[in-house]
Structure 1
Amino acid sequence: MFKHLPLKGLYKAHFFGARFIHGNINAEFGFEYGGNKKLDKVINQAFEQSKSAYINDEIIMFLAHELTVKTIENRTQKGNLSGEWIVYQIYEGQKYYLALGCHKESDQDIYGRVQAAYRLDFPFLVSTGT
């Protein structure tokens, strides 16, 4: 549930799709900032397992798996997958889906779409005090 105005009282459910894979991998390894300790650890593991002083197929395969499949699996298990939101309201035991939102936009922008949904599709929800 959102805890701050203007979305306070509304609920959100996260959804994930293939277009969010890049962002999750970037968040895990800090590629935007030149990498982080997790990235260093994976690279070191790759070379330690291979016992090679140069990059070979074994290292490439290990890195490809660790930086993609393993990352998404780990973030899923930890509940850290990042995607976007479906914003909804519960009224009389029913969920009413009002808008989609993403992390990069302001709550006010999302709330503008919620207000439009109230006006166009769910005028009875406006009086519920969200």
Structure 2
Amino acid sequence: MPSFQQRIREAQEAGEERYISLEDCKAIANDVVHGNWMQLTTAAALTGEWIIYAQHEGKNYYLCLGTHDKSQHENLRKQIDALCCQEFLFLSTLLAGA
């Protein structure tokens, strides 16, 4: 929470006790969620897995799990093409432009 930490430092340096307003809460929440995600993205430090799925006729078809490691994305596509396209025949058409 860099922006919130900066505000704490400023208050400490000024020798002041400051309170958070209701308006501040929205900015802090945004910093915690979006700001942190952006920092991790920039640093290529995202963790976890993506659920890869296709939507067809209003339904989700779950195909596989993928990581944030871009070097593995081509392998995921090959697996989807080799396995999932055999099971879900509509998938080849759906993925033709992807």
TM-score (ref. length: structure 1): 0.37
- Comparing both chains, which one has the higher relative contact order based on Cα–Cα distances under 8 Å and sequence gaps of 6 or more? 1
In our comparison, the structure showing a higher alpha carbon Rg is 2
TM-score (ref. length: structure 2): 0.45
